[in-house]
Amino acid sequence: MKTFNHVDHGIVLPKLTRKTTDSGRKYFTEDGDAYPSVTTVLSIIGKKELMEWRKRVGEEVANKIARQASSRGTSIHKLCEDYIDNVEDFSVKAQPANLFMFNTMKSVIDKSIDNVYFQEAFLYSDHLRTAGQVDCIAEFDGELSVIDFKTSKRVKTEDKIQSYFMQVAFYAAAFYERTEIPIKQGVILIGVDDSEPQVFKINVYDYLKEFLKTRRRYGYMYEKEMDLS
């Protein structure tokens, strides 16, 4: 089992509270601001296609699939987090199928991730009026990166995961706003059923403009006022 180095950086990030509302999850800052989660903002992408799929398969089946996907994603995230936190018995309670998928991702984690800054840390941006909880900020192949762990039943193509790229771009922007430490690289590590894991590395600056457009559109749809100038 690899031992990961955790950087003693002295940076303290704020703790946020969160609540699921009729318009999605919201985070509340210490100053009393209420910001939508980054996943809630990005959920407007492909919403029409999702609604059509739910109608096609039926609400009961759609809800079952969504619950299963959410449960598996949460379990894989926890395995990754505990393993990188150097928890010796991280896999004791894991279901065999989840552990199998994690083990396919483990070789990438062992090879590429080290010098960990944060895991499951709260981040928010007053400028973008958005918040969230980042999976991991660490060096990936020697470069400080925002790292996001995902799961999928099938291999993904880049055009289908633009929201993933915008998500890590937001986290990089929020991290800079809170710490003044720039992060250029975003990494998406996807565990895939019956396949090798996928790794996507991006320049986060290439996706900030698209995130900003999506945030504005979310504001027009769900908020009375939206000023991100």
Is the distance from CB of 164 to CB of 149 less than 8 angstroms? Answer: no
Instruction: Tell me which residue of 208, 207, 191 sits closest to 104, measured CA to CA.
Output: 191
> Which of 50-59, 85-94, 174-183, 219-228 is most confident?
174-183
- Average pLDDT of the segment spanning 21-29: 86
**What is the span of the domain harbouring residue 150?**
17-222
Any domain includes 110: yes
For residue 6, tell me if it sits in a domain.
no
Closest CA to 175 of 134, 143, 141: 134
**54 vs 131: which has the higher pLDDT:** 131
Residue 155 lies in a domain: yes
From CA 219, how far away is CA 227, in angstroms rounded?
A: 9
| 26 strand-pairing partners | 19, 36
pLDDT, one tens digit per residue, over 61-80 is 545 555 655 667 689 999 99
Mean pLDDT (the chain) is: 89
Say how many Å lie between the first and final Cα of the chain, rounded. 48
Pairing mode of beta strands 185-192, 143-152: parallel
pTM for the structure as a whole: 0.90
User: Looking at 19-23, 52-56, 184-188, which range is the least confident one?
Assistant: 52-56
What are 136-172's pLDDT values in tens digits? 999 999 999 999 999 998 999 999 999 999 999 999 9
Query: Would 164 be classed as within a structural domain?
Result: yes
Residue 228 lies in a domain: no
The per-residue pLDDT for 194 is 86
Mean pLDDT of 33-58: 73
Residue 175 maps to a domain: yes
What CATH number is given to the structural domain containing 131?
A: 3.90.320
The total number of structural domains in the chain stands at: 1
> Is 66 part of any domain?
yes
> What would the mean pLDDT of 114-143 be, rounded to a whole number?
97
2 falls within a domain: no
